[in-house]
Amino acid sequence: MTGLRVRHRRTVALDGVDLTLGRGVHGLLGPNGAGKTSLIRVLATVARPDAGRVEMLGEDVGDPRRRGPVRARLGYLPQEFGHYPGFTVREFVAYMAWLKEVPAADTPAAVARAVDRVGLTERADAKVRTLSGGMVRRVGIAQAVVNDPEILLLDEPTAGLDPEQRVEFRALLRELGTRATVVVSTHLVEDVAAACTEVTLLDGGRVAYRGTPDALSALGEEAGADGVGDNPIERGYTAALRAHRAERAHRAGTVAAR
Ligand SMILES: Nc1ncnc2c1ncn2[C@@H]1O[C@H](COP(=O)(O)OP(=O)(O)OP(=O)(O)O)[C@@H](O)[C@H]1O
């Protein structure tokens, strides 16, 4: 994507973002309001940018005719995910498979596999309304992966998952990232350290940092005891944010002084 700009009324949510995302697991980090959800919604083709160009799977998704074919090859877990509480887990995931144009003959196996991947096989015939919040989140992950997407977009997938599920989910992410482009927004820096091949840190609608989790940890090591955070990657996160903010303030100062 190049020059991506998204506004919500007077708020600029994304301010000229250029990013190229290849195969692997991309962690999207950033403080509240940084623009993570706005970015994921554009990639999911549910929101349109005010400016910029987004190309996915070789298609320009600014062209409405090209969006349909791309959508069938996407998986998306929104932050607020609307499900159908009267459906069973299996019915709901099958319905999403149908929306994604998974061939009818393949659907039962695809649904069983997706439900198994999130550890819900035993609850497959339970109504979604009877599940706990964390289990509903897992149903959301199952529907996102049911079509074996080439691009998988997950907005805070680990929110509400218990520690055991989080560990399993990270393993699933690593596996999916070997074949697909996976974008995961999270507030849990440890998710990034454990599952991501690359980190993109957003701040104020701009890319503040890009690199590997190891490079971000190294930045935290450099910050040493002065850094804020309980481990190197958390210290790297705060160091990268501070450096980005200092640079922006410096630029603003330079412009003001002219
Ligand atoms: N529907 C909306 N109407 C007005 N402003 C909005 C709307 N959605 C987002 N914003 C604003 O756009 C900016 C970016 O929001 P966004 O939800 O993309 O951030 P985020 O990084 O996902 O935040 P969080 O970590 O809190 O989920 C924020 O300033 C937010 O207040």
- Give, using CA atoms, the residue closest to atom 9 of ligand 1: 8
Decide the pairing of beta strands 24-29 and 181-185: parallel
- Return the closest-CA partner of residue 149 out of 109, 180, 107: 180
Are 51 and 5 in contact by the 8 Å Cβ rule? The answer is yes
Using a 6 Å cutoff on CB, does residue 254 contact ligand 1? no
Using a 6 Å cutoff on CB, does residue 37 contact ligand 1? yes
Residue 209 and residue 152: Cα distance in Å, rounded? 22
Three-state secondary-structure class, residue 173: helix
Per-residue pLDDT tens digits for 4-62: 999 999 999 999 999 999 999 999 999 999 999 999 999 999 999 999 999 999 988 88
Domain boundaries, the chain: 2-73+149-257
Query: Which CATH number describes the domain made up of 2-73+149-257?
Result: 3.40.50.300
pLDDT for 222 equals: 87
- Give, using CA atoms, the residue closest to atom 16 of ligand 1: 35
- Give, using CA atoms, the residue closest to atom 25 of ligand 1: 32
Using a 6 Å cutoff on CB, does residue 179 contact ligand 1? no
Using a 6 Å cutoff on CB, does residue 204 contact ligand 1? no
Using a 6 Å cutoff on CB, does residue 35 contact ligand 1? yes
Mean pLDDT estimate for the chain: 92
Per-residue pLDDT tens digits for 188-215: 888 898 899 999 999 999 999 999 999 9
pLDDT for 133 equals: 87
Extract the tokens encoding 62: 């600014």
Global confidence as pTM: 0.93
Are 185 and 201 in contact by the 8 Å Cβ rule? The answer is no
